[in-house]
Every structure is written in structure tokens, then in C-alpha cells.
Chain A
């Protein structure tokens, strides 16, 4: 999985594509806020702050171009959410898409869930490449024909047409969240899904929009006593009764929906004891978990906090089995990062298809990949400078002190405005999508 890592062939990551504007001035609405491959990897969806969803489809691999995989091209673009105004609370509800989750494909159409702070929508994306021609009651341009003028009957014929991809909202799940939705997760039963906000988790049926079940509620009776919020939640990939949710205090709770209707009491509680030697004022903030993801196998889960990624065995609650430092050099800068709010950035993480590698983002448009088997890690950069087709990405290194070697970058030169919060890994192949502000980079392995 890593450059130069194990296996037979030497593995390297190459630039494949970049999507998005090149302008220096980035429009706020164009900032990508979520990235997600579908189950087959054929489709790649992005959501942005402007409430739009853009879906890319991989073109069929051409036999002529053996050295590269199919490219991703725009398949469908639609406005998923609009800004709303809550008149009761005098609040504006942002249209920013917080999460997109695909449903497994069951027929020709594709379905995805998209969520902003308050509302989840189920979208159907379907193709139309035929149209009916030869209606009896209307002309080709749609005008109604005078019935008395019809002298013969004909059967309409399906004629091919240019491919049209339509996105239509099939369900709108609204009014179930007082606080901001941070996660949605489709259950393995393909009938239900959960949505989580800061204090509550709701379980929905995909067919039913007018009600949901509240399964977790951590809102205290007295809000003055609130010291912990829910930061992420996910359904187990195979066990439809199991889900996990993470908190701002660095804990993860695994709940079993068979145990009780309200899963306030967890079945398992995952927390790593704090290292007293590294305690600081920022210990709690940096322990806040920004993302939690089950492995594809369902045996492990991964959590991302500010400085590290941890892999947990679901059978061991008292500590993670693996810990990977993402950017430990920032530990001495926490006060500044607190001041400029970077410490509150929510980085996501993802597994590769075989669960042998994990990926997460960092600053300066760097992203990191860790091979769980070889324990090797690599830092790569998403930048237009390395954007020649099939250009091999050069590993990057941050210099933490002392003499800076050539090609290294010092901690103080990092651009904290260029943050990679959202990344996705193709479910089957070594193709990754990395969102860098308003640009989407696609990288793939170099096929030898």
C-alpha cells in the first residue's frame, strides 16, 4: 500500500485528476465538505458548503490505455440543500452538506443520503437514455393534439436519446434534530439508518419520514451540567443491531439496539487512559474524536483525534491496538492552534478496501497514509504543482527542528489554511479522493 512497501511490485501513488477551480480566491460555497465513494467505487460524490452535490462516474477502462485506470467525470450535479431560516429560533440553517452516504445499489438507479445541519434527504439518481416517440395525444414538441383530428392510432416507440442523469429527492427527513447533525450512517439491513447530532442519535426507516426513533440522548436535565457531546456515529457494517458513537472527551461507546429501546447505556466503553506526563490545558480538546469508522471486516474501528489516529479492536476496550501519529510536531504549538481555532478542525479518516491501510489529512494540503502491516507511513501533498498526469507523488517531510534538509518544510512554514479534512478510499482499488478546500484530487497507484 505504501510507496516502496512490501509485496512484489514497488508501490507508488500518482496524480490522476484534479477537479475544481484554479482561482486563488476560493468561493466559500465551493469548499468541499464531504467526499464519498459508493459501494462499487464507480461513483464518487462530493458535497460542498453551497449545498450542492457533484457526482463523478468512472469511465469504462479503455483497452488502449493500459497504464491508467478509468477517469472520473462529472455524472450529475444538483442542489441538495438550500439555506433555510428557522423563524421560531431566528436562526439561519446552513445549506452546507455535512455528510453523504450511499445506499447499496439494488436496481438501475443510485440512491444516496445527504445531510446538512438539520435535514437529511434521500436522492435518487437515475439515467434516462431513451424517450418515447409517437404519442397519439400530443405532438413531438408536446402540444396537445386535437382529439377530433386523430384518424389513426399508433404505438409509441422508445427512441435513444442523449444520456440524461436526473436527481430527484425521494424522501426528506426533517425536524428531528435540535442540534447540528454530524453523522449519518446506513445500517446493514438496508432499511434503516441513523443520524447523530451533538446530543442525540435517531434511527430512521428509509421509507418513513414523519417519525424517527431516538436511541441515544445525552442531553442533561440541566444544560449547565453539559460537559460532553457526541461527535460522530456509525453503524456496524455487518451487525445491524450494533453502532458506535464517539464523544468530545475521547471516548467511544458501542451500543446494542437489542438491549434496550434507548441506548443511553453502552454495551462497551472504549477509552485510553491519559498519559499524565503529556497532560496540558489542551489535553481534552485534542482528545476530542472527530471521526469514527468501522473497518470493512467489522472487527476493528478507527478514531481520529487532533493529533493521532487510533485503531481499536472491538474486543478490547481499555486501549487501542494501534496508534499512529499524524502530526506530532504540532503538540508544541497547541496554544497557537487554540488561538487560531485550528485545534477545532475535524479531520476524517478512512480505511482502504482490505483494511490494511488507513488515511487521514493534515495541514499544508498534506495527507498521511499508514500501512498497518509494515507500520510504514507516508506523507503526500495535494497540490497543483504535482499535477501532471501520472506524475509520481514525492513523499513530503516536515522538519521539526534543527537543520532543515532540502525538500523538507519547517513546521512554521506550514499553511494552516490549507487543510485536508475529507478523504476517501475506493472500496476495492488503490484510488483515493482527497478534498483540498475547493479542489478534489484523485490519485491512484502506479500500475507497473
Chain B
């Protein structure tokens, strides 16, 4: 068990300036998102403005990631723990070690001790930020959307840029390096199906070309699709057995969709 004093000291270092920084982070994110979405609605947003707003969003993104990573050596509430890396099915080694270690029980206790009021506010701020960032993904966030938006009629031949954005957002999930917060599983699945529904089966766009992910890949990108609610608390730990089940589930879903919406 780590001495209490040390942990509190660590927290204190983050405490004072941290909350001001947090609130500014939240403000910048909110404002940037608002501008980004407004610009999306324009036929031809200003390229300079779009680039600057996107770069700011990226900065916010990396700041949030840095904050979360700085908290990761210390236990954080598992329900708020982001997915650091979607490209591997097996959990990162450190998580394995920490949860399967004999000290697992103790670290859990430590977490409960460590979690004070300020910690919750910090965690909830981070969680809110991550939720917003997640909304960015769903809206077709960042460079793929905004860079195309002002140019879409020139640079891209696709008539429906929104759908292009979604496809690329889903297909290039790994590239965006965003952490997806763990969400209620049903809602996540619904959202994914919605994306598949609208974007994949647009015949003239040939989006399947960009959406050529296998079920294996999908599982990597998605948060855990396990039905059991308890599984959500250990989202980073998707066992191989569970993954297989999920792959079959997704394949089944895709089969249904393919039959329902045959490609013309």
C-alpha cells in the first residue's frame, strides 16, 4: 500500500492550477466544437479559420490525453478510464499486471482512499471532456471533416461529404488516436449500426471501399460489446473468448444489414 501522504501530495500538485486549466480546457473545447459545427454548416468556410480551429481542437485532444496519461499510474475510476489503444485486443500489459497482481485488492482499496471530492471533480471534468471529444468523432471530427468541408465540392467527388466523413471517422478510428470513453454498450452499438446504415450503403459513393474493415477490426475499434453490465467496468480487458463472441455477433448483424440493403 502506498503511503497516504505521497498520494495526497501528488494530488495537491495538480489541484490548484489544475482546475483553472480544466475549466479553460472545457471552455476552449466547447467553443471550438461550436465553431467547428457551425463551419460545417457553411457551404464554403474560411480555410484559415478551419485550420486554426482544427489545430486548436487537436491541441485540446492531446492535452486531455496527456492529463489522463499523467493520471494513469495512479488508479482512476475504471468507468472513466479511456481506451488507450484500440489496435490490440489484449489489454496493455500494465493493466493486466495491475489487475491480476496480488495487490489488486489493495490497489482497489487505495483507490477508494485516494478518491476525494476534488478527485471526483477532476475525473468528472475529464469524463465530460472525453464525452465531448467522442461527440466530435461521431460528427466526423477533425481534419477529415473540416478540411474536406470547404473543398468538398472541388477536391472530393463525393456528393455527400457528411457521409464520407462518417466513413472515414469509423474506418480511421485508429488514426485519430482519440480515446473513446466507455459508454453504455447498447448505445454504442446503436450508434455504430446507425453509422453503418447511413454510410456504407450509399451505392454511388462506393464507401465500402473506405469501409473495408473486417469484423475483427470493428471489435478493436469498439468499446466492449459485452452484454453484461459488469463487463463495462473492465472495459480494457476484452478476453479473447469474449472477442470471438463479439466478432460473430457483428458478422451476424452485418449479414442482416447486407440482406436488408442489397448493394445496387
Instruction: State the A residues within 8 Å of B (CB).
Output: 88-91, 178-180, 198-199, 223-229, 231, 248, 281-282, 284-285, 288, 335, 338-339, 344
Binds A, one of B48-56, B107-115, B124-132, B234-242: B48-56
13 A-B pairs with CB atoms under 8 Å apart are A90-B43, A199-B47, A223-B155, A224-B147, A224-B148, A228-B51, A281-B24, A281-B63, A284-B55, A284-B56, A284-B59, A288-B52, A335-B24
Is B196 positioned at the interface, with any CB of A under 8 Å from its CB?
no
Q: How far does the Cβ of A276 sit from chain B's closest Cβ, in whole Å?
A: 14
Is B46 positioned at the interface, with any CB of A under 8 Å from its CB?
yes
In the complex, the answer to whether B51 meets A226 with C-beta atoms within 8 Å is: yes
Minimum-distance CB pairs A-B, first 9: A224-B143, A223-B147, A89-B153, A198-B47, A281-B28, A224-B144, A285-B52, A226-B147, A339-B31
A199 to B46, CA, bound (A): 12
- With CB as the reference atom, state the residue of chain B lying closest to A335: B27
Q: Report B-chain residues with C-beta under 8 Å of the C-beta of A198.
A: 47-48
In the complex, the answer to whether B143 meets A225 with C-beta atoms within 8 Å is: yes
Q: Report A-chain residues with C-beta under 8 Å of the C-beta of B44.
A: 89, 91
In the complex, the answer to whether B47 meets A229 with C-beta atoms within 8 Å is: yes
In the complex, the answer to whether B60 meets A281 with C-beta atoms within 8 Å is: yes
Q: How far does the Cβ of B228 sit from chain A's closest Cβ, in whole Å?
A: 38
In the complex, the answer to whether A338 meets B31 with C-beta atoms within 8 Å is: yes
Q: How far does the Cβ of B68 sit from chain A's closest Cβ, in whole Å?
A: 17
Q: Report A-chain residues with C-beta under 8 Å of the C-beta of B49.
A: 344
Q: How far does the Cβ of A96 sit from chain B's closest Cβ, in whole Å?
A: 13
Interface residues of B in 196-238 (CB under 8 A from A): none
In the complex, the answer to whether B51 meets A90 with C-beta atoms within 8 Å is: no
- With CB as the reference atom, state the residue of chain A lying closest to B143: A224
Q: Report A-chain residues with C-beta under 8 Å of the C-beta of B48.
A: 198, 229, 231, 248, 288, 344
A344 to B47, CA, bound (A): 12
CB contact under 8 A between A281 and B56, given known A91-B153, A223-B155: yes
In the complex, the answer to whether B59 meets A180 with C-beta atoms within 8 Å is: no
- With CB as the reference atom, state the residue of chain A lying closest to B54: A227
- With CB as the reference atom, state the residue of chain B lying closest to A198: B47
Is B41 positioned at the interface, with any CB of A under 8 Å from its CB?
no
Size category of the B interface is: 20 to 34
In the complex, the answer to whether B46 meets A248 with C-beta atoms within 8 Å is: no
Is B258 positioned at the interface, with any CB of A under 8 Å from its CB?
no
A226 to B31, CA, bound (A): 21
CB contact under 8 A between A285 and B155, given known A223-B147, A338-B31: no
- With CB as the reference atom, state the residue of chain A lying closest to B34: A339
A223 to B143, CA, bound (A): 8
Identify whether the interface residues of A are mostly helix, strand, loop, or mixed.
loop
Q: Report A-chain residues with C-beta under 8 Å of the C-beta of B143.
A: 223-227
Q: How far does the Cβ of A217 sit from chain B's closest Cβ, in whole Å?
A: 14
In the complex, the answer to whether B52 meets A344 with C-beta atoms within 8 Å is: yes
Q: Report B-chain residues with C-beta under 8 Å of the C-beta of A338.
A: 28, 31
Is B151 positioned at the interface, with any CB of A under 8 Å from its CB?
yes
A227 to B52, CA, bound (A): 8
Interface residues of B in 80-94 (CB under 8 A from A): none
In the complex, the answer to whether A284 meets B47 with C-beta atoms within 8 Å is: no
A35 to B161, CA, bound (A): 39
Q: Report A-chain residues with C-beta under 8 Å of the C-beta of B46.
A: 180
Q: How far does the Cβ of B46 sit from chain A's closest Cβ, in whole Å?
A: 7
A224 to B44, CA, bound (A): 16
Is B2 positioned at the interface, with any CB of A under 8 Å from its CB?
no
Q: Report A-chain residues with C-beta under 8 Å of the C-beta of B1.
A: none
A248 to B51, CA, bound (A): 8
- With CB as the reference atom, state the residue of chain A lying closest to B156: A223
Q: Report B-chain residues with C-beta under 8 Å of the C-beta of A339.
A: 31
Q: Report B-chain residues with C-beta under 8 Å of the C-beta of A223.
A: 143, 147-148, 151, 155
- With CB as the reference atom, state the residue of chain B lying closest to A182: B48
CB contact under 8 A between A284 and B52, given known A225-B143, A335-B24: yes
Q: Report A-chain residues with C-beta under 8 Å of the C-beta of B47.
A: 179-180, 198-199, 229
Q: How far does the Cβ of B151 sit from chain A's closest Cβ, in whole Å?
A: 6
Q: Report A-chain residues with C-beta under 8 Å of the C-beta of B28.
A: 281, 335, 338
- With CB as the reference atom, state the residue of chain B lying closest to A178: B154
Q: Report A-chain residues with C-beta under 8 Å of the C-beta of B25.
A: 281
In the complex, the answer to whether B151 meets A285 with C-beta atoms within 8 Å is: no
Task: Pick the residue among B63, B147, B154, B168 that contacts A89 (CB under 8 A).
Answer: B154
Q: Report B-chain residues with C-beta under 8 Å of the C-beta of A180.
A: 46-47
- With CB as the reference atom, state the residue of chain A lying closest to B60: A281
Q: Report A-chain residues with C-beta under 8 Å of the C-beta of B153.
A: 88-91
A335 to B154, CA, bound (A): 33
Q: Report B-chain residues with C-beta under 8 Å of the C-beta of A228.
A: 51
Q: How far does the Cβ of A219 sit from chain B's closest Cβ, in whole Å?
A: 9
A229 to B25, CA, bound (A): 25
Q: Report A-chain residues with C-beta under 8 Å of the C-beta of B51.
A: 226-229, 248
Q: How far does the Cβ of A290 sit from chain B's closest Cβ, in whole Å?
A: 10
Q: How far does the Cβ of A288 sit from chain B's closest Cβ, in whole Å?
A: 6
Q: How far does the Cβ of B174 sit from chain A's closest Cβ, in whole Å?
A: 14
Q: How far does the Cβ of A49 sit from chain B's closest Cβ, in whole Å?
A: 15
Of the candidates B48, B51, B153, the one having the most CB atoms from chain A within 10 angstroms of its own CB is B48
A228 to B55, CA, bound (A): 9
A225 to B28, CA, bound (A): 22
- With CB as the reference atom, state the residue of chain A lying closest to B58: A227
Q: How far does the Cβ of A90 sit from chain B's closest Cβ, in whole Å?
A: 7
Given A224-B143, A288-B48, A335-B31, 20 further pairs, Cβ under 8 A: A89-B44, A89-B154, A90-B153, A91-B44, A199-B47, A223-B147, A223-B148, A223-B151, A223-B155, A224-B168, A227-B55, A229-B48, A281-B25, A281-B63, A284-B56, A285-B52, A288-B52, A335-B24, A335-B28, A344-B48
